[in-house]
Amino acid sequence: MADPRTPVVLYGGSGYVAGELFRLLAAHPGFRVAAFVSHSQVGQFVSDPFPHLHGAARGARFVGAEEALASVADCPAIAACFATPHGETARQVCAALDLIEGRGQQVRIIDLSADFRLPAETFARLYGTEPAAAQRLEQFTCALPDLAHTALAGTGTLQHIAHPGCFTTAVTLAAYPFLVRGWVEPDLFVSAVTGSSGSGRMPTGGTHHPDRAHNLYAYAPLAHRHEAEMRRLLTIDGREPEVEFVPHSGPFVRGIHATLRFRLRGERTLDELRGAIDATYAGSAFVASTAIPPQLRMVVGTNHARIGLAVRGRTLVVTSVIDNLVKGAAGGAVQWMNRLFGLAPESGLSHDGLGWY
């Protein structure tokens, strides 16, 4: 009997996010990884760079893009996930779409890179180069799955998805409930700390273990590329908020802890403020407020986001935690895939975290 699960072509080889996508999809009831594309490890076992996935990998090997796309030539509908570096991703997406569309197959792309998140001129300003596939930008929607209605309001349809960055995810989820209600001034300061897996697998001077372990430092203060994504996703009724964003490198591997400071337009009780979060995300199984300040261990390994609050007079402080590799990337991608392919929102994502790791 034919396998009823939708085939997924996974790009990103030995990268951290690709490994997480493989882990999540291997346990998913509605999808199967039909091919895992690498540019440097073709023919190698998937379990070589991911020894913790030996069960899921079961002897699978990395393939090149051509072989991967040939292996799904007979499938009427496919998903393709890209966890590859920006710039390179747009070229690979275009090559894949040209071939798949030419064969008359249905395809949904989920891109985790920055290549389709921003308008061409913003991308060029921040990345110092024109987008590699400007002709395809309009086919992509950049939005969070828990706030999908904000994206649908514009077009009514969703074709391909450009998943927002991991910092953007933590901050947008925390800020949106208050901005959309007009309860706060559209002017926020954000300080956020990320674990080292946010920098990907290849070590550089600033991301090498001796520089990060037992250390804490800000990087790109007021100059991080995700600030533009936050401004864009938090633009409500045409009003773009002021966002001042200072990211930090933290001495841990997984997770983002973001602290947002707002000025309230009028005084609000803690119960009212918590109610705004829980009402906004009533339709999402993954986002909720907490009675105590949220901690990374509440979410690491899971697709959950937890949001805490403190209020004094007109000052509102919101703290938000996610796992950068799951909610900020692979889990968010699976959430979108569930939606695009008509599966239950929690499919493949209902597992709890480890708590202590």
Q: Could you give the CA distance from residue 350 to residue 338 in angstroms, rounded to a whole number?
A: 13
Q: 321 with 305: CB under 8 angstroms?
A: yes
Q: Of 347, 351, 259, 349, which is closest to residue 6 (Cα–Cα)?
A: 347
Burial of 9 (0-12, 13-18, 19+ CB in 10 A): buried
Cβ proximity to ligand NAP: between 88 and 211 the closer is: 88
Tell me if 60 sits within 8 A of 36, measured CB to CB: yes
Select 200 or 345, whichever has its Cβ closest to ligand NAP.
Answer: 200
Tokens 């993954």 correspond to 286
What single-letter amino acid sits at 264? Answer: L
Give least dist CB 244 to ligand NAP, A. Answer: 22
Q: What residue has token string 């999908």?
A: 148
Considering beta carbons, is residue 12 or 186 the nearer one to ligand NAP? Answer: 12
Q: How far is the CB of 169 from ligand NAP (least distance, A)?
A: 8
Query: Are β-strands 160-162 and 106-111 bridged in parallel, bridged antiparallel, or unpaired?
Result: parallel
Give the residue with the Cβ less far from ligand NAP, 225 or 274: 225
Starting at the edge strand found earlier in the chain, the sheet holding 287-289 runs 217-218, 242-249, 187-194, 256-263, 315-322, 305-312, 287-289
CB of 254 to ligand NAP, least distance (A): 8
The gap between the terminal CA atoms of the chain, to the nearest Å, is 41
Min CB(302)–ligand NAP separation in Å: 15
Identify which of residues 47 and 275 has a Cβ nearer to ligand NAP in the complex. Answer: 47
Residue 108 is classified by DSSP as E
CB of 196 to ligand NAP, least distance (A): 9
Q: Which residues bind ligand NAP (CB under 6 A)?
A: 12-18, 38-41, 83-86, 88, 112-113, 165-166, 197-198, 200-202, 324-325, 328-329
CB of 256 to ligand NAP, least distance (A): 8
Decide: 116 and 142 in contact? Cβ < 8 Å.
yes
Q: In sequence order, what are the residues at sequence separation of 6 or more whose Cβ sits closer than 8 angstroms to the Cβ of residue 104? A: none
Q: Which is nearer to ligand NAP, 7 or 198 (CB)?
A: 198
Q: How far apart are CA 234 and CA 224, in angstroms?
A: 16
Distances (CA, A) of 315 to 181, 204, 245, 312, 325: 16, 39, 18, 5, 31
Residue 199 or 289: the one with the smaller Cβ distance to ligand NAP is: 199
| Alpha-carbon span 123 to 118, nearest angstrom | 6
Q: Provide the annotated active-site residues.
A: 166
Torsion angles phi and psi, residue 318, rounded to 5: -120, 130
Residue 323: CB minimum distance to ligand NAP, A: 9
